[in-house]
Amino acid sequence: MFKSVTFYTNKLKALKRFYGDVMEFNIVESTNEQFIVEIGQSTITFMHTNQPAFYHFAINIPGNQFSMLKFWMQDRVTLNRGESLDEIYFSSFDADSMYFEDPAGNIVELIGRRKQDLFGDVSQASFLNISEVGIVTPFVSEVGEQLQDIGIPLRGGTEVDPESLNFLGKGDAFIVLVPPARRWYFSEKSAETYPLEITLNDGRQIVLDEEGKMALIN
């Protein structure tokens, strides 16, 4: 679903060092105002802004490499903990997850899909694509309707819960739609609204402004 995503940050240089040097991802383009990092079949653009911002996003990884990747990550970051655990199994998705924060405070989740295997050592190929992007908005119901109207289905029904976590998408790619102030899993941070852009695989763009209102660009 996700071809590319654009996030905003006031810590551009620190993020570039983190994703290029620590995570060893491929930086495919870089200027003083932005850089683009390649994550499997997806890309993330980090764009400079003067205001701090943080987001939640997730990356799909092979289920059979989850333990190897956890050791690989522990050499590079401190994993977030939830109720004394640093990983969790989601039976509804048949997937294991671990979480960490980057230098800008983005809450990053690595999701090991148990039905997807990749044999060999940990490498850039182990990071398959963007799995989830959090959209935080006070207009949950309105945005949920807009997303369903453009063919992105709500998991488990058709009516979004304006007070809770909503997954829109299918397979292994979802928009996570939440209201402000809801605490993110495996984090002490509460969700806040920041602008972002999503380019879908079919070329359509979802644009969220600083107020949390969504527009679609064909």
Is the pLDDT at 62 greater than 90? The verdict is yes
What's the average model confidence in pLDDT over 78-107?
94
Tokens read off for 95: 């997937």
Confidence of residue 84 (pLDDT cuts 50, 70, 90): confident
Domain count, the chain: 1
Structural domain range at position 206: 2-217
For residue 142, what pLDDT is reported? 96
Is the pLDDT at 82 greater than 90? The verdict is no
The CATH number of whichever domain residue 34 belongs to comes to 3.10.180.10
Q: Where are the alpha helices (DSSP H) in the chain?
A: 12-17, 66-74, 140-149
Residue 141 CB neighbour total at 10 angstroms: 16
Confidence of residue 7 (pLDDT cuts 50, 70, 90): very high
Q: What is the DSSP letter of 66?
A: H
Tokens read off for 190: 């509460």
